């Protein structure tokens, strides 16, 4: 009995020692970040969550991260599911060893003065669902190996110095809901394969150097709510297929080299709240279907772009001019008619006066006017004489 009891105690002690050594081993990379002694039990830290003496979640925020780097030993945390590291002035690069963490579902690395590129090995994290690598001064291209992350829902690589093209392999990520690669130096075409991402809700590719046309396949993204392709070098016309984005709320195609007219199909976007098309080379007019939408519409700095209101004004001006011409024509006709009638009356009066007046007697050599004058004088004289005679008689 005593021997059995002793053996049981030895086994328990050995397990405790083994468990403690495991915990310390997991804590080695964390203690480097925390600037602690290697023997420190990092599971006591609020930002480290352990289960069965193994680290499963890391949530670290350090305001002063000068001279701190992410240690390669992070790749030894085989039970790690969640990695959140926000460290101001973080140095170094992303450890390629993170690709060994097959249970990792969430990566968020943000902060400061990092260098290097996105490791190809991240494409081996088969359970990864969310990848945030923003504002950490990354260079190089986006690895095509990320197209193997079949469970990935969110990828945010914005505000870095990434170059090269967008890998078409991202179109294989059928569970993807958000892509944000704003603020990089990406070039080349927008892959048409992105049109296969049926669950995509947010696609932001702004502030890059993307060229070519907007793929019509993007019109297949029926769940898309935000599409931001602004501040690139996109050319050609706006594909009418974008009018099929039935759930779109924000559509920003500003500051590109887009030409042609605004498709009237955009008027089908019943859930649209903001449409930004400014700083392009669009022409024609704003379709009535678009103007009927209750949205914020920005179309400034499109030199050749008019609006239906200007066309309506032109039509109104033409109608007014025609009305004025017709009015003047009627007035002229009326005045002409009255004038002609008055002239006719004057002619008849003149004719009547001529027929009533005595005619000239050529033998006397006196004209009618003279004779009329003499006749009037005679009548006047006779009347005066008669008047005088009558007066004297009554006296």
pLDDT of residue 333: 75
d(CA 375, CA 368): 10
**pLDDT confidence of 89, banded at 50, 70, 90?**
confident
Q: Are 234 and 212 in contact (CB under 8 A)?
A: yes
Tens digits of residue pLDDT in 274-302: 999 999 999 999 999 999 999 999 999 99
Give the bridge partners for 84, in sequence order. 59, 108
Tokens 């480097």 found at: 32
Q: Are 122 and 146 in contact (CB under 8 A)?
A: yes
The fold of the 43-312 domain, in CATH, is: 3.80.10
Of 322 and 389, the structure prediction assigns the larger pLDDT to 322
Tens digits of residue pLDDT in 234-269: 999 999 999 999 999 999 999 999 999 999 999 999
Q: Is the pLDDT of residue 379 over 90?
A: no
- For 250, phi and psi rounded to 5 degrees? -130, 125
d(CA 342, CA 43): 116
| Mean of per-residue pLDDT scores for the chain | 83
Of 160 and 312, the structure prediction assigns the larger pLDDT to 160
For residue 35, the tally of other CB atoms under 10 A from its CB is: 10
**pLDDT confidence of 112, banded at 50, 70, 90?**
confident
Mean pLDDT on 143-153: 98
d(CA 118, CA 146): 10
Mean pLDDT is lowest, of 84-98, 136-150, 303-317, for 303-317
pLDDT of residue 368: 41
Portion of the chain with pLDDT greater than 70, in percent: 75
**Domain range annotation of the chain:** 43-312
Tokens 């021997």 found at: 3
**pLDDT confidence of 166, banded at 50, 70, 90?**
very high
Helix (H), strand (E) counts: the chain: 4, 18
Q: Is the pLDDT of residue 394 over 50?
A: no
Q: Are 31 and 38 in contact (CB under 8 A)?
A: yes
pLDDT of residue 8: 60
Tens digits of residue pLDDT in 312-353: 455 556 676 787 778 787 877 777 676 666 655 455 554 444
Q: Is the pLDDT of residue 273 over 80?
A: yes
Q: Is the pLDDT of residue 174 over 70?
A: yes
């Amino acid at each position: 009995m005593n021997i059995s009891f002793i053996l049981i105690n030895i086994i328990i002690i050995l397990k405790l020692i083994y468990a403690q050594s495991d915990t310390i081993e997991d804590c080695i990379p964390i203690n480097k970040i925390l600037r602690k002694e290697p023997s420190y039990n990092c599971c006591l830290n609020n930002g480290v969550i352990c289960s069965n003496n193994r680290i499963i979640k890391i949530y670290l925020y350090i305001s002063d991260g000068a001279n701190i780097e992410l240690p390669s030993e992070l790749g030894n945390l085989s039970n790690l599911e969640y990695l959140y590291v926000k460290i101001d002035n973080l140095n170094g690069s992303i450890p390629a060893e993170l690709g060994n963490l097959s249970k990792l579902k969430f990566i968020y690395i943000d902060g400061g003065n990092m260098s290097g590129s996105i490791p190809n090995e991240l494409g081996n994290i088969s359970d990864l669902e969310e990848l945030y690598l923003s504002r950490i001064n990354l260079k190089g291209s986006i690895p095509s190996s990320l197209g193997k992350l079949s469970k990935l829902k969110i990828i945010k690589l914005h505000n870095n110095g990434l170059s090269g093209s967008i890998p078409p392999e991202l179109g294989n990520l059928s569970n993807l809901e958000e892509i944000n690669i704003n603020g990089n130096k990406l070039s080349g075409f927008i892959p048409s394969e992105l049109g296969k991402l049926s669950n995509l809700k947010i696609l932001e590719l702004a502030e890059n150097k993307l060229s070519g046309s907007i793929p019509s396949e993007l019109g297949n993204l029926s769940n898309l709510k935000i599409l931001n392709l602004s501040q690139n070098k996109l050319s050609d016309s706006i594909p009418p297929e974008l009018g099929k984005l039935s759930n779109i709320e924000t559509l920003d195609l500003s500051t590109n080299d887009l030409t042609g007219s605004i498709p009237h199909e955009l008027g089908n976007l019943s859930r649209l709240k903001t449409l930004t098309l400014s700083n392009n080379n669009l022409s024609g007019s704003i379709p009535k279907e678009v103007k009927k939408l209750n949205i914020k519409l920005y179309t400034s700095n499109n030199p050749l772009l008019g609006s239906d209101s200007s066309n309506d004004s032109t039509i109104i001006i033409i109608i007014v001019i025609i009305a004025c011409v017709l009015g003047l024509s009627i007035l002229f006709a009326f005045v002409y008619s009255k004038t002609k009638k008055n002239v006719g009356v004057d002619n008849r009066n003149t004719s009547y006066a001529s027929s009533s007046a005595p005619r000239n007697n050529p033998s006397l050599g006196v004209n009618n006017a003279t004779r009329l004058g003499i006749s009037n004088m005679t009548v006047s004289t006779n009347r005066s004489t008669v008047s005088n005679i009558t007066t004297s008689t009554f006296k």
